[in-house]
Amino acid sequence: MNFKILSSRIFTGNPEQPWAEALCCRDDRIAAIGTNSQINAIDGTCETFELHGRLVTPGFVDAHTHLTTFGMTLRWVDLNNLTSVEACREQIREAAAKIAPGAWLIGRGWNHHLWPGEQEPNRHDLDDLLPNNPAMMIRTCGHSVWVNSKALEQSNITCNTPDPSGGRIDRDEHGNPTGILREARQLIEEHIPPLTRDDLKQAVRSAQDVMLRFGLTGVRTMESFAPWEAVSELDKENGLKLRVYHLVSPDHLEQGIAAGLAPGKGSEHVWGGQVKLFADGSLGAATAFLHEPYTDEPANCGLPYLTTEQLQDCTERAYQNGFDVAIHAIGDRAFTNSLDAIEAARKKYPGAWRDSIEHVQLVRTQDLERCRALGITASIQPRFIMTDYKVASAKWGLDRCRNAYALRNVLQHDIPLQFSSDTPVETCDPRHGLYAAVTRQTPDSNPVGGWFPDQCLTLAEAIKGYTSRHAWVTHRDWDLGMLSLGRTKEWFAVDTEMTIVNGDIAYHV
């Protein structure tokens, strides 16, 4: 498709030409970019879009998602933003009336920090609603689940079941499971019937429809091997419009390599090259791994999902196969452990690695220096600031929170920054992330002045977080991430809601 964009405010992301008024695209590439008069002087028949001063940016990329899981949540019980356990029970009651006897009921989004008293639920809160159906309700962060007695029974979880490595089964005073499992969701999920290939493909289609509407042209997704197969098949069927960079777990590394998932391989729309690892859990579940105890739980420093030695071993396996790593680290000790593991692995396997640490929610200043020296990208979800600032203040204390979600500190240490949503944890609409990065406030302007406003970014800095760095991390910096001559034409017209992917209009109102 050949076309011209005129009378716009184009944020290019190109430091040599940060802004432009118009551009011309031919044969899936940007042929010219400049002023209206320069673009109008170009000969040839092109469709022309007059945007009347509206903002155009490079295509937004959500650099940390769970693509098929997000698509599935559109079919699950929606517990997001509900302000009491009773409100959650009402949603679950309605869904329970519609399912077949014995079938699993799954939901997601509960957050006890929004409830009066902030008390977590237990199995008894589900048992009367679902006496004969197993049920799993995933916390908004994805790191804890709330299940009923039937689910515990079908998963063979009793008072004698040991805690899994890196996880915990909450128990009452008699040692019986309460129905809350932290970093142990796999104990339940391995007893849920697996999704079919068609289920996964439909989930991708559903997620894609929403993401294109929000101006996303690509995602980086953290999932198992089966979703990668579904995405790849959908791509071959020409059903994929988004660009999808797929990360693989260490458990699926060999399987992925055998099936062709490897650095430098893939299609125009689907490729991969990173191994996803976990150093800890989450803030809301109080499993983020800290150097010092939680302010409200003096005996708790969180949980190391993998030890430093295990992280190093997995990183070395990735490097041996040419893969970079992406390590989930929310707590400051998890961040330290991640740096230790990467630094040690690189001594054995030196190279031009493009590693990232995911979340980076609490970091000591001395570790930012180490991160810069190692050339590691900080992959952060600014939308979390809106949701987490009260919880972080209570659980980590205000003194520590000066180094929490510290976007300005990251940039001042010359650490590359990329943004994302972790959807379905948060909405994948990047405009929410941009707002949070620039204001550090909720949509209703709380807290007044912003939460640690010295960490606010400019709008241009925030847009770069959603555009240019992802291209480097995913080894596509030669043609994606900015609007400049010869690059693939991917952009989002903010006010007109037009999303262009690979030169085609993927969404337009």
CA distances to 247, 276, 337, 375 from 262, in Å: 10, 14, 26, 22
Spatial CA neighbour of 147 closest among 119, 110, 116, 115: 110
**Which residues, listed in sequence order, are joined to residue 106 by a DSSP beta bridge?**
136
Cβ–Cβ under 8 Å, residues 383 and 62? no
Whether pLDDT at 1 is above 80: no
Q: Helix H segments across 380-477? A: 384-396, 398-401, 407-412, 430-439, 459-465, 468-473
Crossing angle for the helix pair 430-439 and 384-396, to the nearest 10 degrees: 50
Determine the Cα–Cα distance for residues 440 and 382; give it in Å rounded to an integer.
8
Among residues 246, 229, 217, the alpha carbon closest in space to that of 67 is found at: 246
Does position 491 have pLDDT exceeding 70, yes or no? no
Distance CA 49, CA 6 (A): 6
- Distance, in Å, from the CA atom of 114 to the CA atom of 390, rounded to the nearest integer, reads 10
In this prediction, residue 11 carries a pLDDT of 93
Structural domains in the chain plus CATH codes: 3-59+492-508 (2.30.40.10), 74-189 (3.10.310.70)
pLDDT for position 496: 56
Rounded Cα gap, residues 76 and 398, in angstroms: 36
* Residue with tokens 């994805």, as numbered in its chain: 142
pLDDT of residue 357: 99
DSSP secondary structure of 199-232? HHHHHHHHHHHHHHHTTEEEEEEE--HHHHHHHH
Beta bridge partners of 6: 50
DSSP 3-state of 341: helix
At residue 382, what is the residue type?
P
Question: What is the four-CA torsion angle of 195, 197, 203, 207, rounded to 10 degrees?
Answer: 140
What is the residue-wise DSSP string for 79-102? -TT--SHHHHHHHHHHHHTTSPTT
The 10s digit of each residue's pLDDT in 165-222 is: 989 999 999 999 999 999 999 999 999 999 999 999 999 999 999 999 999 999 999 9
CA distances from 165 to 162, 304, 310 (A): 9, 9, 12
User: Measuring CA to CA, which residue among 60, 177, 52, 9 is closest to residue 507?
Assistant: 60
Q: Which residues lie below 8 Å from residue 85, measured CB to CB, with a gap of 6+?
A: 112, 115, 119, 121, 125
Q: Which two tokens stand for residue 415?
A: 């650490």
Of 277, 284, 435, 268, the closest CA to residue 356 belongs to 277
| Confidence tier at 494 by pLDDT (50, 70, 90) | low
**Residue 261 is encoded by which pair of tokens?**
């998932």
- CB count within 10 Å of CB 287 equals 26
Please check whether residue 404 is in contact with residue 392, taking contact to mean a CB–CB distance below 8 angstroms. Answer: yes
pLDDT tens profile 76-134: 999 999 999 999 999 999 999 999 999 999 999 999 999 999 999 999 999 999 999 99
pLDDT, tens digit, for every residue of 319-330?
999 999 999 999
Q: Which amino acid is at 35?
A: T
Distance between CA atoms of 329 and 321, rounded to whole angstroms? 23
Instruction: Round to whole Å and give the CA distance between 354 and 152.
Output: 41
* CA–CA gap between residue 22 and residue 6 (Å, rounded): 5
- Residue 265 confidence (pLDDT) above 80: yes
Name the average pLDDT for the chain.
94
